[in-house]
Amino acid sequence: MYTNSRDEEVKFLKRLWTSQPTICPKCNRAELVHLHKKAKKSDCDWKCPECGEIYRTINMLKELPIK
Ligand SMILES: [Zn+2]
């Protein structure tokens, strides 16, 4: 996970899915951008332009701890 709790992680995922401006939780220096700018189908993948961290929301969802 990239945040401190399951709830925070879910909020983070929801922000990405709704394409809200979201600061990279790893470096806190930049807003995340789409990993594939032209591919409309894969807009669930995001990247931090500062530290290069890649966020794949589908994988993040799978790795969420069970409550
Ligand atoms: Zn970053």
For residue 44, the model assigns a pLDDT of 87
Distance CA 40, CA 51 (A): 24
What is the 26 CA–ligand 1 centroid distance (Å)?
A: 5
DSSP code for 65:
P
3-state secondary structure of 51: coil
Chunk the chain into consecutive blocks of 10 residues (it has 67) and report each block's average pLDDT, rounded to whole numbers: 95 95 97 82 86 96 89
DSSP letters, 9-35, are HHHHHHHHHTT---B-TTTSSSB-EES
For residue 66, the model assigns a pLDDT of 84
What is the 54 CA–ligand 1 centroid distance (Å)?
A: 9
